[in-house]
Homo-oligomer: A and B are copies of this chain.
Amino acid sequence: MIYVRIPGNLRYRDLAVRAVAAASKLVGTGDRHFDDEVVSAFGEAFNNIALHGYRDHQGEVEIEIEVGADWLTIHLRDRGASFDVSDIPDPDLDTLPESGLGIFIIRSFMDEVSYLAGEPNLLSMTKRYSEADHGGTRP
């Protein structure tokens, strides 16, 4: 198990993203796309905590990563503002929205996403690798 605790601040985004990228490589898929999608989803989740969750006060983010034989789960915990992830509709891509794309990226690139508001809030996301699937889910 990999555990990282850092301030929930964009200054620490690069560190967190690099740790997640290295963790994703440990899954050992050898598939750049898998790693890219994990990193993309995580980056959006971290942005959201820094920009929305901790808009009004500072706090920490706890990142827990479980690396499986062909899957990876990331748990993000924060003590900022809560929201309801199921309230967030998918964007209408035809209107070329300039924001509101983060949750969509997370949902699209991860196989399972759950959110539990609380102290702390807990966002969990899992991505599974399957070579067969993968050809099909490539955007």
**Chain A contact residues, CB within 8 Å of chain B:** 1-7, 11-12, 14-15, 18-19, 21-23, 25-26
Contact = CB atoms under 8 A, between A and B. Distances in A.
A4 B19 contact: yes
Secondary structure call for the A interface:
helix
A22 B20 CA distance: 13
A2 B23 contact: no
A79 B25 CA distance: 26
Contact of A3 (B5, B14, B23): B5
Contacts of A18: 18-19, 21-22
A10 to B, nearest CB: 12
List the 5 closest pairs (A to B, CB-CB), nearest first. A15-B22, A3-B5, A18-B18, A4-B4, A19-B19
Nearest to A14: B22
Contacts of A1: 5, 7
A6 B1 CA distance: 6
Contacts of A5: 1-4
Contacts of A12: 2, 26
Contacts of A21: 18
Contacts of A26: 11-12, 15
Contacts of A23: 15
